[in-house]
């Protein structure tokens, strides 16, 4: 059964929307006025006692953008409060995150302008920005932070696609796998604990696992972006990694957001190919997918709360239309309630600081 507390009422097995034991529950419990649901809603300590889901700092993974060729952090206009780091500022940020007990970061490298090419070769350059950033963070933090590396080439290709193109301009799946294999080994060699293939190529997990094992990195884990949708919510991320690509251009490899059942096939294939962790992306509009995947997956399931989800909350909060931290807590807790064991979110640091300051979770 699904290990997530509080999901039990729906997950009794095969009952559709019915609660298991619903008849007995009804028979044994008297209706109003004997039953008053409000009794468990005060005082605040009572709500803490009965809360089914708790967002913890240990649930959070913080993305880090590290850019080559800048000498101080550069703000990302479409992601208020978020920056492209230098290697040094990335290390400082990681120390701060570790001091807050955030368990993991995921590194995205952004090559210097003019260094992009059709094959994205800087993605597997031993002296590439991602490799240097991973190395520096590992050197400074040792084993006190899990270092993940996004494994894709869209940040490194001049056309912005997640793979290499064939003569007709279509992403060539199998040729791309050979590049992903090289990127994985180079990220593992620089110290990544986890590599995270995010390009939605068929067979990418198998290709990466085989390459890692052949190069002696049997202990490097794979987090697969298994169910990744062709979402318009990645808009602000394109500014964060300096990628320009037409909206909808990834529909040939990322999933159609009208499909949920297909996500189960994606996850099953990735687990069979050797994924140690799987992820659903984006998160909030896909809570049903997270729920279904979490109740069936043999491996831990994460969710990626993406740039657009973050930016929408920030933008509305800046206007004074919503209470930003409260909405962020509500959204991230909902993602956990749906079944995610961990959440990759640009709000990781601020949520960790918010909780460290003693703010209530609910």
Query: CA-to-CA distance for 16 and 228, rounded, in angstroms?
Result: 26
Cβ contact 175:164 at 8 Å = yes
Evaluate whether 87 touches 133 at the Cβ level (below 8 Å).
Answer: yes
Q: How far is the CB of 231 from ligand PBG (least distance, A)?
A: 8
- Of 267, 269, 277, 301, the C-alpha closest to 287 is 301
CA distance 65 to 106: 9
Is-catalytic flag, 95? no
Angle at 281 between CA 306 and CA 358, to 5 degrees: 55
Candidates 53, 57, 69; CA nearest to 96 is: 57
- Minimum CB separation of residue 129 from ligand PBG in Å reads 14
* Least Å from the CB of residue 329 to ligand PBG: 19
**String of DSSP letters for 129-192:** HHHHHHHHHHHHHTTSSEEEEEE-STTTBSS--SS-B-TTS-B-HHHHHHHHHHHHHHHHHHT-
Whole-number minimum distance, CB 245 to ligand PBG, in Å? Answer: 8
Residues that bind ligand PBG (CB under 6 A): 150, 152, 154, 162, 198, 234, 237, 250, 306-307
Q: Distance between CA 7 and CA 4 in Å, rounded? A: 6
Shortest approach of ligand PBG to residue 2 CB, angstroms? Answer: 26
CB of 148 to ligand PBG, least distance (A): 11
Give me the phi and psi of 315, to 5 degrees please. Answer: -65, -45
Catalytic one of 18, 95, 182, 281 = 281
- Establish whether 228 is a catalytic residue: yes
- Cross-strand bridge partners of residue 280: 227, 303
Q: Give SS3 for 281.
A: strand
- Which of these, 96, 360, 79, lies nearest to 234 by C-alpha position? 79
Q: Active-site residue numbers?
A: 228, 281
């Amino acid at each position: 059964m699904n290990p997530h507390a509080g999901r039990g009422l729906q997950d009794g097995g095969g009952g559709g929307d019915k609660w298991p034991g619903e008849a007995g529950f009804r028979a044994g419990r008297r209706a109003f006025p004997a039953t008053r649901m409000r009794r468990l809603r005060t005082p605040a300590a009572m709500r803490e006692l009965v809360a089914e889901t708790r967002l913890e700092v240990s649930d959070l993974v913080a993305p880090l953008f590290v850019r080559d060729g800048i000498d101080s952090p550069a703000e990302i206009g479409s992601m208020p409060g978020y920056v492209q780091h230098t290697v040094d500022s990335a290390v400082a940020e990681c120390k701060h995150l570790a001091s807050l007990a955030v368990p993991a970061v995921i590194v995205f490298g952004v090559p210097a302008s003019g260094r992009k090419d059709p094959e994205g070769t800087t993605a597997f350059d031993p002296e590439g920005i991602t490799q240097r950033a991973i190395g520096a963070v590992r050197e400074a933090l040792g084993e006190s932070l899990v270092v993940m590396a996004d494994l894709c080439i869209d940040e490194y290709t001049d056309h912005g696609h997640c793979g290499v193109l064939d003569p007709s301009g279509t992403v060539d799946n199998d040729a791309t796998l050979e590049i992903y294999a090289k990127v994985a080994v180079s990220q593992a060699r620089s110290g990544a604990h986890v590599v995270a293939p995010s390009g939605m190529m068929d067979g990418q997990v198998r290709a990466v696992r085989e390459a890692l094992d052949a190069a002696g990195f049997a202990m490097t884990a794979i987090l697969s972006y298994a169910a990744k949708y062709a979402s318009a919510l990645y808009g602000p991320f394109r500014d964060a990694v300096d990628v320009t690509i037409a909206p909808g251009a990834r529909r040939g490899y990322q999933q159609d957001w009208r499909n949920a059942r297909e996500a189960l096939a994606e996850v099953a294939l990735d687990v069979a190919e050797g994924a140690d962790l799987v992820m659903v992306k984006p998160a909030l509009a896909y809570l049903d997918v997270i729920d279904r995947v979490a109740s069936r997956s043999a491996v831990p399931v994460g969710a990626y709360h993406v740039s657009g989800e973050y930016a929408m909350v920030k933008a509305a909060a800046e206007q004074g239309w919503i209470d930003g931290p409260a909405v962020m807590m509500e959204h991230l807790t909902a993602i956990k309630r749906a079944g995610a064991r961990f959440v990759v979110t640009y709000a990781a640091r601020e949520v960790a600081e918010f909780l460290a300051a003693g703010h209530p979770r609910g």
